[in-house]
Amino acid sequence: MRISVDISLYPLTEQFVEPILAFIGKLENNPKLIVHRNTLSTQIFGEYRDVMDAMESEIEAVFAQMPHSVFVLKLIGNDRHQVED
């Protein structure tokens, strides 16, 4: 099953840009995922297990380095990547 995720990271620190870019970069380097950035959030598309495994790993890494961070997630049970508005 393919899913779509809308994710935002809010590091509660003054130096917030680099951690966000590093988090997105790690997701973009995963060949099993399709990742689209925009100014408000990042969208991730792929097989359920691939997306969830990647997010679990990368979110844990962020919390290990910056425990005072907030993630906001929206999960959709289908692949919205190819859907026209």
Ordered by start, the domain boundaries in the chain are 2-76
According to the model, what pLDDT value does residue 84 have? 53
Options 3.30.70.930, 1.20.120.420, 3.10.20.30, 1.10.10.10; CATH for 2-76 is 3.30.70.930
Cα separation, 16 vs 22, whole angstroms: 10
Torsion of CA 55, 8, 71, 4, to 10 degrees: -40
Q: For each of the chain's 85 residues, which pLDDT tens digit applies? A: 999 999 999 999 888 889 999 999 999 999 999 999 998 999 999 999 999 999 999 999 999 999 999 999 999 999 998 765 5
Which residues does 82 contact at the CB level (< 8 Å), separation at least 6? none
According to the model, what pLDDT value does residue 14 have? 86
Cα separation, 77 vs 85, whole angstroms: 18
Compute how many other C-beta atoms are within 10 angstroms of the C-beta atom of residue 25: 12
